[in-house]
Structure 1
Amino acid sequence: MTPIIRHRSSASKESGEWDLYAALCLQRTPVIGPELNWIERRLKEYLNKVEIADSLYSDHEMRHFEDLRRAERIASGVNVAEKDLEEAAKQTAQDFEESSLSEANKFVKGSRVTKADLTNNTRSIDRSLDKHLYFVQKRNVGSSDVWMLPQEHFNSSTDHSLRQAAERAFDAIFPSHSKDQIKFLGNVPFGYYWYRYPKPVAKDLGTLGARLFFFKANLYTDSSIKGPFGERVLSPADEKEFTWSTRAELSKQLPPRYWRTLERIIYPDELVDLEALMQQKKRKISRLSNRLQKLESKIDANASI
């Protein structure tokens, strides 16, 4: 994917040094598939009808038909071969189907809702199983605390690349976990963001601000994360506040300008955003209604002349 780079004239014209940072967008991918919305359900029902109507008989159905023909021959006593008697003593297709259904009825589906969902534990990696989760921490920027992705300063003397700085960010947050537990999605940043330091801070540091390059990585939620499934917590080593948030939660949690950059590099979990689609239709209907009202007003004005 081509990295998203913003060029700002106000930042490029001003002379001075900038601090370079690699930000780690650590995501836990969905564990289960999302529930179908009403459009997807209707499409699935239609495709099932088409598939059944155009499909051929399966091997199990052909075996069932052969069992019925064999039973008729044995009952009539006409053209009964020794092989028919041997096959009749075996399990029939009907017997196999009934035993399979009995076994399937014993299966109990797991719940889509975990204990972390019920207790609203935003620190657990076992919440919102059908959505992506993103690790964010509360960081001190100037005189305020804001939610941001973890980041690490790029050191040109030790870091051979920005990705190496992003790997150090993971090591700093989770020192007890191996880097094999995550997988970086390439060596190229997925996005770019910058912000200025407050003037007192900029004067002390001798730099204008920070330039962040976002790197995405997937988390493997294997057995190395301790705790019962449904309430496991992958806690950072430092004592900063943290959450594993969904995309919708990030839009409310992160600073607006920071989020406008980040939303371009993380994908929505819903293939079709029904709410956005309905809002768009409502706006179109509203515009059409306004046009009709204007036309009616003109017609009434012309009729009164």
Structure 2
Amino acid sequence: MAAPVGRLVAGVLACRAWAVRGVGSRLLSSQAAGSPWRLHGAVCLKRPPVVVQSKSPLQQEVDELLQQIELEKSLYADHEIKLMEDKVRLSKQSVNYDDDFDSDNKDIVLTQDLEDAWEQKWKAFKPAPAITEADDKNNRSSLNRKLQNTLVLLVKEKFGDEDIWLFPQLAWQAGETMKQTAERALSTLSGNQIEAIFLGNAPCGFYKYKFPKTIRTEDQVGAKVFFFKAILRSQDLQTSKGNGEYVWVSRDELKDYLKPAYLSAVQEFVVEI
């Protein structure tokens, strides 16, 4: 029975792959055949959190409980064993004091001395603040903000007489895959200097909209946008746009920029940010 089931599963997967290729080819061929809908490739570029998010009171309480349970059930570490051995050795030395013994061991570094040195280093350490200057100035064009959250890149594009905030996107060109179009949108934005990892070869979302009436024609009614996800690899990004023409925003801030219809279409694949 295993062989027929295996052939059946392979046949289903092959049919699905054929169907996906067929849909993609029909979409691209419709573009080439003069469809009034323009095909666009867009990318949802994310900057992952830089620091760990602050714990809620409940999370902090559970974390302390788990640490206490782990401590009670754990064995002594090598450092703790050495600390106890040093205490035994010092107690013997205080009972049987010997000048020769003391002179021979005066250069020994005890475990407690190491702990004292580590404690001094810890007191001198000053962690960088989680609230940055960009947070204080609400500079949303900076990557150095909201370090505890995932941020996504939005750019301002002009459609007719209206400025609209969108994910970076470009129109599809003949000979490209849709992923290559999305990659070109990023490379055009950053002058081929952006470092990003695309998550898969298939789109994660789809949105269709009509152009403003001022630029809408019978041959160009609107656009069909296919979204891809990508992760920013570096914390530095130089774009071809000036400040104010692009922003890095969290999920809660998307509503300040995106139109409701566009936001409802994209929130499905940015829900985890």
Normalization by structure 1: what TM-score?
A: 0.70
**Structure 2 residue corresponding to 1:119, chosen from 113, 119, 137:** 137
Deviation at 1:264, TM superposition (A): 1.2
**Corresponding residue for 2:229?**
216
8 A Cα contact 1:19 1:153, kept in partner:
yes
Q: For 1:63-111, what per-residue CA distance to the aligned partner results, in whole angstroms no more than 9, with x for missing partners?
A: 1111121122223339x9x999856741111111111111211111111
**Structure 1 residue corresponding to 2:208, chosen from 190, 194, 201:** 194
CA distance in 2, matches of 1:74, 1:241: 73
Tell me: CA distance 1:86–1:64, structure 2 relative to 1, closer, same or farther (3 Å): farther
8 A Cα contact 2:141 2:243, kept in partner:
no
SS at match of 2:217: helix
8 A Cα contact 2:141 2:244, kept in partner:
no
Describe how 1:153-168 pairs up with structure 2 within 5 A.
Answer: 153-156=171-174, 158-159=175-176, 161-168=177-184
Q: For 1:121-153, what per-residue CA distance to the aligned partner results, in whole angstroms no more than 9, with x for missing partners?
A: 111111111111111122234553321112111
8 A Cα contact 1:173 1:238, kept in partner:
no
CA distance in 1, matches of 2:93, 2:161: 91
CA distance in 1, matches of 2:105, 2:74: 28
Tell me: CA distance 1:239–1:62, structure 2 relative to 1, closer, same or farther (3 Å): closer
Describe how 1:105-254 pairs up with structure 2 within 5 A.
Answer: 105-141=123-159, 143-156=161-174, 158-159=175-176, 161-175=177-191, 177-179=192-194, 181-198=195-212, 201-204=215-218, 206-222=219-235, 225=236, 234-237=238-241, 241-254=245-258
Q: For 1:194-251, what per-residue CA distance to the aligned partner results, in whole angstroms no more than 9, with x for missing partners?
A: 11234564425x13321100011222335xx4xxxxxxx7343478822111111013
**Structure 1 residue corresponding to 2:41, chosen from 22, 26, 29:** 22
**Corresponding residue for 2:82?**
63
CA distance in 2, matches of 1:39, 1:118: 28
**Corresponding residue for 2:29?**
none
CA distance in 1, matches of 2:225, 2:54: 36
Tell me: CA distance 1:146–1:237, structure 2 relative to 1, closer, same or farther (3 Å): closer
Normalization by structure 2: what TM-score?
A: 0.78
What stretches of structure 1 of length at least 5 have no aligned partner? 1-15, 226-232, 270-305
Describe how 1:4-15 pairs up with structure 2 within 5 A.
Answer: none
CA distance in 2, matches of 1:18, 1:240: 30
CA distance in 2, matches of 1:117, 1:200: 38
CA distance in 2, matches of 1:201, 1:75: 93
Q: Residue 83 of structure 2 aligns to which amino acid in structure 1?
A: H
Deviates more, 1:213-222 or 1:161-170: 213-222
8 A Cα contact 2:140 2:248, kept in partner:
yes
SS at match of 1:203: coil
Q: Residue 203 of structure 2 aligns to which amino acid in structure 1?
A: P
What stretches of structure 2 of length at least 5 have no aligned partner? 1-34
8 A Cα contact 1:124 1:234, kept in partner:
no
CA distance in 2, matches of 1:93, 1:144: 69
8 A Cα contact 2:44 2:229, kept in partner:
yes
SS at match of 1:187: coil
8 A Cα contact 1:70 1:84, kept in partner:
no
CA distance in 2, matches of 1:53, 1:172: 57
Q: For 1:250-275, what per-residue CA distance to the aligned partner results, in whole angstroms no more than 9, with x for missing partners?
A: 13321112111211112445xxxxxx
CA distance in 1, matches of 2:125, 2:181: 48
Q: Residue 154 of structure 1 aligns to which amino acid in structure 2?
A: W
Q: Residue 169 of structure 2 aligns to which amino acid in structure 1?
A: Q
Kindly indicate whether residue 271 of structure 2 is the aligned counterpart of residue 259 of structure 1.
no
CA distance in 2, matches of 1:104, 1:163: 48
**Corresponding residue for 1:286?**
none
CA distance in 1, matches of 2:244, 2:118: 53
8 A Cα contact 1:23 1:213, kept in partner:
yes
Q: Residue 65 of structure 1 aligns to which amino acid in structure 2?
A: M
8 A Cα contact 1:138 1:145, kept in partner:
yes
Deviates more, 1:50-59 or 1:84-93: 84-93
Counting matched residue pairs gives: 239
Deviation at 1:41, TM superposition (A): 0.9
